[in-house]
Amino acid sequence: MLQRRQGALRDDGSRNVLVTGGLKEAFPLRQNGSLSRILHVLLHMDQHRDPMTSEQIGQMLGTNPTVVRRTMAGMREAGYVSSVKGHGGGWTLARPLSEMTLLDVYKALGAPELFALGLATDAPTCLVEQAVNTALGRSLEEAERQLLAGFGQVKLSEIAADFEHRAARSKHGTCKVKHVA
């Protein structure tokens, strides 16, 4: 191995797993998991007629209600979900999944950095580094365009349909939350 093993495996070969209140969540690298988590939440909300509380969602994701509220904040500001306080309150979808794409969610999350590869300096004085940044930057920008274009073409309702399909084929309960209307 090069680069002084920076991976996810520990000496005993196990994954690095955060154990929080008895629940587990595995994040292999120093990656931003909020997009993945939000999607998980949105699809579950779609299966759920009543508002879901941050507490419920937190348990589902194996995380803390506070984290849920904070991550959902962007979605609320963008108008994709709404939150209600007090008895019977919680989170609900503010529009159908057919009117949301991966790109919409990504943007609502504040369009976090996509790549784990970085350029050494923003505006280097070294001409060599300028040339390197230009070449590398060009590839990265192209990839970013591709990726975001791809995100824009995936409607959340399509993901939901894929879920329905999976659910139809295996009759076991799945998550910690029931998939009921």
Query: Which residues in the 62-81 window bind a second copy by CB under 8 A?
Result: 70-71, 73-74, 77
The number of angstroms, rounded, from the C-alpha of 163 to the middle of its chain's C-alpha atoms is: 17
Query: 72 with 38: CB under 8 angstroms?
Result: yes
Q: Which of 49, 85, 165, 169 binds DNA (CB under 7 A)?
A: 85
Minimal distance, residue 62 CB to DNA, in Å: 6
CB 33 within 8 A of CB 68: no
Q: Closest approach of Cβ 111 to a second copy, in Å?
A: 10
Is residue 34 within 8 A of residue 74, CB to CB? The reply is: no
Q: Is 94 in the site for a second copy (CB under 8 A)?
A: no
Closest CA to 57 of 78, 75, 43: 43
Residue 94: which of DNA, a second copy, none does it interact with, CB under 5 to 8 A by kind? none
The residue within the footprint of a second copy, chosen from 96, 98, 112, 178 (CB under 8 A), is: 112
CB of 87 to a second copy, least distance (A): 27
CA atoms within 13 A on the CB side of 125: 0
**Of 50-58, 87-95, 135-143, which segment contacts a second copy by CB under 8 A?**
135-143
How many residues are recorded in the chain?
181
> What distance in Å separates the CA atoms of residue 96 and residue 57, rounded to the nearest whole number?
19
Collapsed DSSP state (helix, strand, coil) of residue 90:
strand
Q: Which of residues 37-76 bind DNA (CB under 7 A)?
A: 51-55, 62-67, 69-70, 72-73, 76
Q: Can you give the binding site for DNA, defined by CB under 7 A? A: 3-4, 6-8, 16-18, 20-21, 25, 27-34, 51-55, 62-67, 69-70, 72-73, 76, 83-91, 118
